[in-house]
């Protein structure tokens, strides 16, 4: 059976296949190294008091800031200590009264209402006890877990950005085009998109439609984790990328998906590097990058991939003859999607005029609910 006879992967299947093929770092277990909080602490800026003093005026003994050792002071009847958020509670005190509820009088500080024991205090160990398992092993990494790991004394660091190399292909791309030539719009577009998605972007020189030049290029990618190419991956006579990748021994994950635009897309591993080959038509190159790069970045960083889709209401019918779901440029007004008269995969004008792309199932749809993708 020839490759063409196999049904094409759906978008979801292709994203899943790619995600599962990329090894992802996981967080180790996080254990509490001490009680959290390690002492009773104030959760407000105010005064530390003895609740049993009620509303009687209090003499101020001093001030405790976050980080101060509370052993230096003791709250006896008729006294109080100014205390800032996060400061440990001094002995003798059993409540905190917020600044907003205090009045200065010649006889001392007066509180508006009688405090209760425990007011505005974070109790020692109330969030966790020393030795508690706070986060089990193997969860995705996220910022809160990075913070918690730092809190318990674990190694931390701001994760490095993933380096994404970007290369357009095509002999027709020149800076100053004759009418039969064009400028490279995909390179800057994919660079801006990869940047918006959180990558460290490296724009590489365009690659000519020449198998030897493509092979040389693909073997010289040391400083990139992911390579995005545009063009040269379809059925044309100068679409050399699939063949060259095969000759270099790349592991092809998929080639062609059931999507419009963006069908010719290819995903592969070469020398441990992820290569996403996107079709050259600008709307296709945009869409494939927008759909696939977030999951690749998330997997490489150990994060949960972000949700791609939102729900909106298409306010006019959109035709979609054929057997592939389609992403169609729209303006967005609140949750209303207003379809633009896109001419298809080469129509960068309508894509740039739009705010979002709406999901149009195969066969087209009437006005109504559908999912959409934000254009970044």
230 binds ligand AMP (CB under 6 A): yes
234 contacts ligand AMP (rule: CB under 6 A): yes
234: partner contacted, choices Mg ion, ligand AMP, none (Cβ within 5-8 A by kind): ligand AMP
Nearest of 193, 248, 266 to residue 17 by alpha carbon: 266
CB of 231 to ligand AMP, least distance (A): 3
The footprint of ligand AMP on residues 5-44 (CB under 6 A) is none
Does the bond joining 60 to the residue before it have cis omega, within 30 degrees of 0?
no
Q: Is 11 helix (H, G, I), strand (E, B) or coil?
A: helix
Hunting for tokens 């994203």 — which residue is that? 15
Strands 368-374 and 356-360 turn out to be antiparallel
Are 368 and 345 spatial neighbours (Cβ–Cβ below 8 Å)? no
- Segment near ligand AMP (CB under 6 A); pick from 27-35, 59-67, 213-221, 232-240: 232-240
Nearer to ligand AMP, 70 or 329 (CB): 329
- The residues in 153-212 that bind Mg ion, with binding defined as CB under 5 A, are 170
* Three-state secondary structure call for residue 118: coil
Closest to ligand AMP by CB, 79 or 281: 281
Does position 232 interact with ligand AMP (CB under 6 A)? The reply is: yes
The answer to whether 76 and 52 are in contact (CB under 8 A) is: no
Nearest CB to ligand AMP, comparing residues 205 and 249: 205
Whole-number minimum distance, CB 234 to Mg ion, in Å? 8
Q: Are strands 309-314 and 336-339 parallel, antiparallel or unpaired?
A: parallel
CA distances to 166, 201, 295 from 163, rounded to whole Å, are 10, 6, 14
Q: Which position among 37, 187, 232, 312 is part of the footprint of Mg ion (CB under 5 A)?
A: 232
Q: Per-residue b/e over 20-52, b at no fewer than 16 CB within 10 Å?
A: ebbeeeebeebebebbbbeebbbebbbbbbbee
Minimum separation from the CB atom of position 195 to ligand AMP (A)? 17
Per CB under 6 A, 279 contacts ligand AMP: yes
Binding mask 177-196 for ligand AMP (x = CB under 6 A): -----x-xxxx---------
Q: Is 168 in the site for ligand AMP (CB under 6 A)?
A: yes
- Quick one: which of 42, 229, 281, 289 contacts ligand AMP (CB under 6 A)? 281
Interacting residues of 147 by C-beta distance below 8 A, sequence separation 6+: none
Q: In the complex, which residues of this chain contact ligand AMP (CB under 6 A)?
A: 168, 170, 172-173, 182, 184-187, 230-232, 234, 236, 239, 279-282
Q: In the complex, which residues of this chain contact Mg ion (CB under 5 A)?
A: 170, 231-232, 280
């Amino acid at each position: 059976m020839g490759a063409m006879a196999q049904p094409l992967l759906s978008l979801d299947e292709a994203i899943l296949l790619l995600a599962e093929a990329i090894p992802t770092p996981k967080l180790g277990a996080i254990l509490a190294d001490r009680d959290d909080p390690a002492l009773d602490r104030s959760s407000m800026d105010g005064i530390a008091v003895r609740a049993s003093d009620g509303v009687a005026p209090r003499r101020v003994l001093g001030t405790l800031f976050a980080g101060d050792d509370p052993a230096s002071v003791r709250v006896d009847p008729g006294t109080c200590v100014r205390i800032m958020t996060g400061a440990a509670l001094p002995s003798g005190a059993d409540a905190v009264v917020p600044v907003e509820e205090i009045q200065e009088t010649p006889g001392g500080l007066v509180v508006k209402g009688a405090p209760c024991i425990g007011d505005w205090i974070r109790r020692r160990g109330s969030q966790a006890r020393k030795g508690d398992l706070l986060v089990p092993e193997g969860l995705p990494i996220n910022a809160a877990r990075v913070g918690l790991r730092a809190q318990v004394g674990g190694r931390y660091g701001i994760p490095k950005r993933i380096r994404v190399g970007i290369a357009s292909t095509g002999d027709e791309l020149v800076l100053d085009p004759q009418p039969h030539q064009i400028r490279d719009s995909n390179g800057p577009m994919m660079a801006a998109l990869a940047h918006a998605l959180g990558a460290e972007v490296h724009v590489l020189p365009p690659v000519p439609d020449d198998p030897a030049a493509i092979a040389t290029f693909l073997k010289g990618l040391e400083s990139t984790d992911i390579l995005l190419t545009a063009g040269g991956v379809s059925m044309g006579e100068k679409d050399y990328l699939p063949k060259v990748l095969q000759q270099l021994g790349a592991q092809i994950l998929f080639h062609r998906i059931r999507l419009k635009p963006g069908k010719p897309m290819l995903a592969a591993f070469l020398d441990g590097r992820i290569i996403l080959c996107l079709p050259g038509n600008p709307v296709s190159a945009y869409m494939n990058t927008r759909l696939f790069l977030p999951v690749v970045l998330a997997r490489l960083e150990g994060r949960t991939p972000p949700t791609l889709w939102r729900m909106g209401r298409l306010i006019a019918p959109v035709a979609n003859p054929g057997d592939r779901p389609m992403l169609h440029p729209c303006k967005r007004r609140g949750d209303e999607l207003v379809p633009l008269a896109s001419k298809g995969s080469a129509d960068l004008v309508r894509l740039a005029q739009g705010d979002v792309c709406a999901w149009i199932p195969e066969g087209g749809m009437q006005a109504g609910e559908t999912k959409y993708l934000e254009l970044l």
